[in-house]
Structure 1
Amino acid sequence: MTEKSRFVRENGQWYYLDGEMYDFPLAVKKPGRNDPCLCGSGKKYKKCCG
């Protein structure tokens, strides 16, 4: 879930006005087979956690 919010600044203070909610999944990039493994082992993804 993501929100796009509006704020206004009055007398040096920021105030929340309103926001719009968006319900969509965040894009998650899947590692390629020859990319380094996400676990940090230094091995290729296909030889470790893939």
Structure 2
Amino acid sequence: MLILGLILLLLGFLLNIPVLWTIGIILLVVGAVLFLLGSTGRAVGGRRHWF
């Protein structure tokens, strides 16, 4: 999710498409939260690891 968010953020910035920019920011935030929860050992959505 972090990588997809970063790609969409960059594409939205470079191509000047505000929708991609917004979706990229949202995916980056959600990906960061999931990464932090997963790195602390908490089960996220019933799973300990997201593959």
Question: TM-score per shorter chain, which class?
Answer: under 0.3
> Normalized per residue, which structure has more strand?
1
User: Higher relative contact order by CA 8 Å / sep ≥ 6: 1 or 2?
Assistant: 2
> Normalized per residue, which structure has more helix?
2
* TM-score normalised by structure 1 residue count: 0.27
| Bigger Rg over Cα | 1
